[in-house]
Amino acid sequence: MIHSTVIPEPPSALVPVLGEEAFFPVRRIFCVGRNFAEHAREMGMTVERGRPVFFMKPREALQPGGGPIPYPPGTSELHHEVELVAALGAGGAALEEEAALGLVFGYAVGLDLTRRDLQAELKAKGLPWELAKSFEHSAPISPIRRWQGPPPRGEIRLRVNGELRQRAFLSEMIFDVGQVLVWLSRYFELMPGDLVFLGTPAGVGPLRPGDRFEAAVEEVGTLEGAIAPARSGSTLSAA
């Protein structure tokens, strides 16, 4: 239906699909926290096995490709978290595991970029994480690879300026892809276009202006990019 709007409508958020002309249109971005035991420990948290920790990023956080990504304001401790991302091609609620896995269109590799200094402050006060997690460009993502069958279980890794920072196997996830989707579907009606960032392994650390990163998930893909160099006159303290 043709309609007019009083201000411009928000643009679509589109992610390329590997080897295809058509794009994957993104609806919502769900994220799982503390899904690898070693990472939970390095964050000083106990491993929570009852229910996954969930949070969200807005669509404006989506950054197809590796940038260069502007260093965000309001932090001097931007951290990398390399993650497997599930892209849903269908929806549903209150699902069993087999049906939940049947929603998956494909997988990508992404970064859950985090203002770690702010996150630590918010966690200490018991406050929500949006300032730490939900800023623009905080969710860079590779092209999505169509996928059928069991979810990927191979290696996930991240290099920064050539140095290996994060490396683990997806089989180490506390809640696997099916379990995460089952839990999400108990609280949300999952919809086609939803993305789910599935949690990061240990080894998170700082990204500074000018750093180059290379993220990879075995059999899924790679995401290469960079943090934009500091502008002259910037007040950023990136020491």
Q: 56 or 90: whose CB is closer to Mn ion?
A: 56
Q: How far is the CB of 205 from Mn ion (least distance, A)?
A: 13
The yes or no reply on residue 112 touching Mn ion (CB under 5 A) is yes
Q: How far is the CB of 178 from Mn ion (least distance, A)?
A: 19
Q: How far is the CB of 121 from Mn ion (least distance, A)?
A: 17
Q: 191 or 202: whose CB is closer to Mn ion?
A: 202
Q: 17 or 62: whose CB is closer to Mn ion?
A: 62
Q: 142 or 200: whose CB is closer to Mn ion?
A: 200
Q: How many chain residues touch Mn ion (CB under 5 A)?
A: 3
The yes or no reply on residue 200 touching Mn ion (CB under 5 A) is yes
The yes or no reply on residue 176 touching Mn ion (CB under 5 A) is no
Neighbour tally for 76: CB within 10 Å:
16
Stretch that binds Mn ion, among 99-107, 157-165, 197-205, 216-224 (CB under 5 A): 197-205
- 156 close to 166: Cβ distance less than 8 angstroms: yes
Q: 166 or 185: whose CB is closer to Mn ion?
A: 166
Classified as helix, coil or strand, 72 is coil
φ, ψ for residue 237, nearest 5 deg: -100, 100
Q: How far is CA 168 from CA 36, 40, 110, in A?
A: 9, 14, 15
Residues in region 52-91 near Mn ion by CB under 5 A = 81
State which residue has the least CB distance to Mn ion. Answer: 112
The yes or no reply on residue 34 touching Mn ion (CB under 5 A) is no
Q: How many degrees, rounded to 5, is the angle at CA 185 between CA 196 and CA 167?
A: 30
Q: 104 or 173: whose CB is closer to Mn ion?
A: 173
Tell me how far apart the alpha carbons of residues 82 and 16 are, in angstroms, rounded to a whole number.
19
Residues in region 210-229 near Mn ion by CB under 5 A = none
- Shortest CA distance to 57 belongs to which of 158, 178, 194? 194
| Strands of the 66-69 sheet, one edge to the other | 66-69, 221-227, 212-217, 155-160, 163-169
Tell me how far apart the alpha carbons of residues 108 and 93 are, in angstroms, rounded to a whole number.
23
Q: How far is the CB of 198 from Mn ion (least distance, A)?
A: 9
Instruction: Give the footprint of Mn ion on this chain (CB under 5 A).
Output: 81, 112, 200
